[in-house]
Structures are given as structure tokens and as C-alpha cells.
Amino acid sequence: SIQACLFDLDGVIVDTARFHYIAWRQVANDLGFDLSHSQNELLKGISRMESLDIILSIGGVELSEDEKVRRATEKNTHYLELCQQMTPDDTLPGVRVFLDDLKAKSIKIGLGSASKNARVILERIDMLKYFETIVDGNRITKGKPDPQVFLMGADDLHIAPEHCVVFEDAVAGIQSAKGAGMFAVGIGHKSILTEADIVVAGFDEFRVEDLLVAFGE
Ligand code: BG6
Ligand code: MG
């Protein structure tokens, strides 16, 4: 049975993925190359410094450690500026109803995000109150696709992995969930999230009842 649901943040709860893309693309442009949509897919779910390393390898650019920290800090400042336009209305469609339904069914709710900005973002969209645990980029030592982030969340909630469902929009996040032994719901496209147990476009046409059926309850 499903006893806990663990949610990724960026691209699942809120559409910050477009802001990450804009800010990283600026970093690439400043270094003299571009970052395509498909290259950006590789960055989803990946920590800030690892994302920068991937971008630098795409551009064939090498930077000193100090310069890397400077670029990553610049990216984050730009990203947080973009995030300031966000309001509770930027919560992705159907998410609130879905979480309310989970609460009504006494299914626990946790966050599993690579972002160090997770709490700030949740506060801005007024969603902090839903989460019984938050595992974010400040707590984990191994990023997605390592299963640590979701195993920590399950442990915080005292629920065994086989009773947990993960919601993820990133390839690395689905791999993390499957590595943790959890049921993985992909948010996005089947062609990209090939390892997910099921893939849905979003929460506006997917109800908790549909999840229970998919899980086999
Ligand atoms: C993930 C995003 O949730 O968090 C990545 O999908 C991002 O794009 C990562 O790089 C780290 O986020 P932050 O906010 O700590 O830079
Ligand atoms: Mg994500």
C-alpha cells in the first residue's frame, strides 16, 4: 500500500525549471556558447556545481575552482531574481488538490530536492506547510541519481521504500527513485522518462485515485 509520497520540487511542484534554464543559458552565453533545450534536460535534478561542470564540458570551457564558484553564485543570484516574480499561483496546476487528497487519505508527504533553495521557493508559493519532511541540497551528500535523497525522506517519515511513491520530472530523479526501490511517477514525457513506472503530463488530469490504481491498490 502507498504510505508516503515524496515530491521533487523544481518542475513537479512549481515551474522553476524554466528559470534554471534561463539562468544557466546566461552563464553559457557569457562564456561564448549556447545551451539548447535538450542539453538543459541533462541538468534537471542535478546539483548546482555538477550542472556547471556539465555546461562547461558542453562548451569545451575550462575554469579555475574560484571562477567556477563565481559563475555558480552569479547563476544563483540571477535565478533567485527570476524567482521573485513567483506567487502561490505559480504552483503547478492540480498540485494543491493532489496534496490535499493525500492528506485526507493520511498518506504522508515529503520533499526530495537537489536544490539548496527549496525552503525559500516553498515559502514563496506558500506550500511549506504541506511537507512533513524536507530533504534538500543542504542535507544530501550524494545527488540524484543516487537514491540517498529519497531514502532519507522515507527514513524521516518512518516508511519503508516499497510503500513510497516518488514524483519526478528528471531522468536522474527517476533513477534515484528506482534505485531506492520506490514506485516512480514521471511528470513529463514517456520518451524522456523511460525508466518511470508511469508517466503523466501533470497533476491536473491525474488524481490520487488514479495513483492507487496504477500502484495496484
Ligand atoms: C534541482 C533542479 O531541483 O535543483 C536543478 O532540477 C538544480 O536544475 C538543482 O540545478 C540545484 O538547485 P539550486 O537551487 O540549489 O541551485
Ligand atoms: Mg525536477
Predicted pLDDT at 119: 98
Residue ranges for the known binding site for substrate are 8-10, 24, 43-48, 51, 75, 113-117, 144
Tell whether ligand 1 has an atom less than 6 A from the beta carbon of residue 40.
no
Q: Check: CB of residue 198 under 8 Å from CB of residue 166.
A: no
- β-partners of residue 201 are none
Q: Cell digits for 64?
A: 579555475
The candidate with the shortest Cα–Cα distance to 7, out of 126, 102, 125, is 102
What's the CA-to-centroid distance between 1 and ligand 1, angstroms?
Answer: 31
Predicted pLDDT at 183: 98
Predicted pLDDT at 117: 98
Predicted pLDDT at 161: 98
CA distance 121 to 134: 12
Residues 6+ apart with CB under 8 A from 197: 183, 184, 185, 214
Q: Is 184 left (phi over 0), alpha (psi -120 to 50) or beta?
A: beta
CA distance 153 to 144: 13
What's the CA-to-centroid distance between 121 and ligand 2, angstroms?
Answer: 13
Give the position, in ligand 1's atom list, of the atom nearest the Cα of 137.
Answer: 15
Low-confidence stretches of the chain (pLDDT beneath 50): none
Predicted pLDDT at 85: 94
DSSP state of 10: B
What's the CA-to-centroid distance between 13 and ligand 2, angstroms?
Answer: 9
Closest C-alpha to ligand 1, atom 13:
115
Residue ranges for the known binding site for Mg(2+) are 8, 10, 168-169
Which residues are identified as catalytic? 8, 10
Q: What value of ipTM does the predicted structure carry? A: 0.99
Tell whether ligand 1 has an atom less than 6 A from the beta carbon of residue 52.
no
For the chain, how far is it from start to end, CA to CA, in angstroms?
Answer: 7
Q: Check: CB of residue 174 under 8 Å from CB of residue 168.
A: yes
What pTM value is reported for the model? 0.95
CA distance 198 to 143: 23
pLDDT digits (tens, 9 = 90+) for 113-127: 999 999 999 999 999
- β-partners of residue 184 are 166
Predicted pLDDT at 24: 98
